[in-house]
Amino acid sequence: MLFPSMGLLFFYVFFVWLKASLATNILGNETDVIALFRFKESISNDPYGVLSSWNTSSHFCNWHGITCSIKHQRVQHLSLQLCQLHGTISPYIGNLSFLRTLNLASNSFYGEIPREIGREFPVSLANCSELRLLNMSSNNLYGRIPMEIGTLKKLEKLSLNKNNYSGEIPSSIWNISSLSILSMGYNYLEGKIPEEIGKLKSLSGFAIGANKLSGELPSSLYNLSSLAIFFAAENQFHGSLPSDMFSNLISLQEIGIGGNQISGPIPTSISNASSLQLFDIGYCSFVGKVSNLGNLKDLYWLNLNYNHLGSNSALDLDFITSLVNCTELESLVLSSNNFGGVLPNSIGNLSAQLTEISLDFNQIHGTIPETICNNTNLIDLDLEYNHFTGFIPNSFGKFQKMQLLGLSANNLMGEIPISLGNLTQLVELSISKNMFYGKIPPSIGNWQNLLYLDFSGNNFSGAIPVEVFSLF
Ligand SMILES: *[C@@H]1O[C@H](CO)[C@@H](O)[C@H](O)[C@H]1NC(C)=O
Ligand SMILES: *[C@@H]1O[C@H](CO)[C@@H](O)[C@H](O)[C@H]1NC(C)=O
Ligand SMILES: *[C@@H]1O[C@H](CO)[C@@H](O)[C@H](O)[C@H]1NC(C)=O
Ligand SMILES: *[C@@H]1O[C@H](CO)[C@@H](O)[C@H](O)[C@H]1NC(C)=O
Ligand SMILES: *[C@@H]1O[C@H](CO)[C@@H](O)[C@H](O)[C@H]1NC(C)=O
Ligand SMILES: *[C@@H]1O[C@H](CO)[C@@H](O)[C@H](O)[C@H]1NC(C)=O
Ligand SMILES: *[C@@H]1O[C@H](CO)[C@@H](O)[C@H](O)[C@H]1NC(C)=O
Ligand SMILES: *[C@@H]1O[C@H](CO)[C@@H](O)[C@H](O)[C@H]1NC(C)=O
Ligand SMILES: *[C@@H]1O[C@H](CO)[C@@H](O)[C@H](O)[C@H]1NC(C)=O
Ligand SMILES: *[C@@H]1O[C@H](CO)[C@@H](O)[C@H](O)[C@H]1NC(C)=O
Ligand SMILES: *[C@@H]1O[C@H](CO)[C@@H](O)[C@H](O)[C@H]1NC(C)=O
Ligand SMILES: *[C@@H]1O[C@H](CO)[C@@H](O)[C@H](O)[C@H]1NC(C)=O
Dist. CA 58 → ligand 2 center (Å):
8
Is any atom of ligand 10 closer than 6 Å to the C-beta of 294? yes
| Nearest-atom index, ligand 1, CA of 22 | 13
Residue 10 confidence (pLDDT): 56
The whole-number pLDDT of residue 16 equals: 56
Domain end point (choices 142, 172, 191): 191
Residue 74 domain flag: yes
212-215, strands of its sheet edge to edge: 43-45, 86-87, 108-111, 140-143, 164-168, 188-191, 212-215, 236-240, 261-265, 285-288, 308-309
**Whether the Cβ atoms of residue 192 and residue 215 lie closer than 8 Å to each other:** yes
53: Cβ below 6 Å to ligand 2? yes
Which residue puts its alpha carbon closest to atom 7 of ligand 7?
175
Helices in 30-131 by DSSP H: which ranges? 30-41, 120-125
Residue 184 within a domain: yes
**Per the domain annotation, does 240 fall within a domain?**
no
Provide the pLDDT for residue 11.
56
The residue nearest atom 11 of ligand 1, judged by CA position, is 29
Test site for ligand 5: of 127, 131, 151, 152, most ligand atoms within 8 A of the Cβ = 127
Q: Does residue 326 form part of some domain?
A: no
* Residue where one domain finishes, among candidates 168, 191, 214: 191
- Residue 386 belongs to a domain: no
Query: What residues of the chain score a pLDDT lower than 70?
Result: 1-28, 111-123, 472
What was the pLDDT predicted at 15?
Answer: 59
Domain that holds residue 403: 391-472
Listing DSSP states for 291-321 in one string gives ---TT-TT--EEE--SSEE--SSTTTTTHHH
Q: Could you say which ligand is closest to the alpha carbon of residue 183?
A: 4
Beta bridge partners of 278: 254, 301
End of a domain among 142, 158, 191? 191
Structural domain includes residue 339: no
Q: What is the pLDDT of residue 24?
A: 42
**Measured between alpha carbons, how far is residue 245 from residues 116, 241, 285, 340, 433 in Å?**
46, 7, 17, 27, 43
Distance 54 CA to ligand 2 centre (A): 7
Q: Which ligand is the nearest neighbour of the Cα of 25?
A: 1
Number of domains in the chain: 2
Q: Would you state the pLDDT for residue 118? A: 37
Q: Give Dmax (Cα) for the chain.
A: 95
112 occurs within a structural domain: yes
Q: What is the CATH number of the domain that holds 136?
A: 3.80.10.10
User: What pLDDT, on a 0 to 100 scale, did the predictor assign at position 127?
Assistant: 83
Question: Is 243 a member of any domain?
Answer: no
Q: Is the CB of 109 under 6 A from ligand 6?
A: no
